[in-house]
């Protein structure tokens, strides 16, 4: 019983490769979010900076 619980907890641990993959995906999400924010700011400046 205890061995099964330990094996299950080891399966749920993130490996170094998992963490690197997630960091890479997060950097892409951050880049896309920055592009969207920049676009919104540009539209707001264009609308209100007459």
Each domain of the chain, given as residue ranges in start order, spans 16-50
Count Cα atoms within 13 angstroms, Cβ side, for 8. 5
pLDDT for 49 equals: 87
Is residue 23 pLDDT above 70, yes or no?
A: yes
Tokens (6 digits) for 47: 């609308």
pLDDT for 5 equals: 65
In Å, how far from its chain's centre is CA 15? 17
pLDDT for 44 equals: 96
- Mean per-residue pLDDT for 12-34? 92
Reported pTM:
0.62
- Mean per-residue pLDDT for 1-29? 81
Q: What residues contact residue 12 under an 8 Å CB cut-off, 6+ apart?
A: none
């Amino acid at each position: 019983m205890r061995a099964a619980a330990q094996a299950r907890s080891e399966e749920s641990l993130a490996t170094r490769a998992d963490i690197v993959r997630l960091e890479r995906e997060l950097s892409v999400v951050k880049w896309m979010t920055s592009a969207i924010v920049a676009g919104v700011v540009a539209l707001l400046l264009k609308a209100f900076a007459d």
